[in-house]
Amino acid sequence: MPLKWVLTKTCKNCKCPRDGHEVVAEHGARSRLGFVANHDSLDARSLGYTFVPPGLTSARQVDQYYSTLPSEEVPKLGSKGEMLRSQRIVRQLPKQDLSLSACKFVEPEYANSYQDFITGRNQVALDVGLAKATPPNSICADCSKPIHSTQISVTALRLGDAVWHPSCFKCKTCDDLLVDLAYCVYEDNIYCERHYAEKNEAKVRRLR
């Protein structure tokens, strides 16, 4: 049973997209993924945002980071960007891909291979990016253009020293900004969890 078969994309009641009205946890992607809360991070709401990238240590850095994104992508409280973030959390990080307990109608013979996929993904592919000051002479891993050392960049520890412009930290498949910097690595590229799972459907079938 491919992963997409256990994902319900529409509400059974109104038939509208689930990401249009599903309640998203205040703590966002990190909480949804089951990661330990980062207590050293800035308080996003006190700065007027619903999310602050991990790694930033001042309001100035946060504003500098978001200044590189289109205004509609910035998750300010009460803005279109806040709504887009909530939708991306649900779309890019479907609960059915994150925990067997969130799946319905999964037959017992599929449970072990499904759990093997989740365990393997968490060990080798899934992580959250960090925003930081850019090292000198840095080149964006996506667009291959320079990132000035005065700018904030994003790094993905699972890909070593690679850095990205904030606007270039996107899923290789859907070209959507990776929500809350949550990513999966597959063949040296970054993906949202949904499309990483789709890439691995054949592997999941072989595990059964």
CB 51 within 8 A of CB 85: yes
In CATH terms, is domain 3-207 a member of 2.10.110.10? yes
CA–centroid distance for 42 within its chain: 19
pLDDT per residue as tens digits for the range 10-56: 444 334 444 443 445 455 777 777 676 665 678 999 999 999 999 99
What mean pLDDT value characterizes the chain?
Answer: 82
Q: Distance between alpha carbon 66 and the CA centroid of its chain, in Å?
A: 17
Q: What is the pLDDT of residue 94?
A: 85
User: How many percent of the chain have pLDDT more than 70?
Assistant: 75
Q: What is the pLDDT of residue 208?
A: 36
Q: Model confidence over 140-158: pLDDT tens digits? A: 999 999 999 999 999 999 9
* pTM of the entire predicted model: 0.81
Q: How far, in Å, CA of 84 to CA of 159, rounded?
A: 27
Residue 99 binned pLDDT confidence (cut-offs 50, 70, 90): low
Which sequence spans correspond to the domains of the chain? 3-207
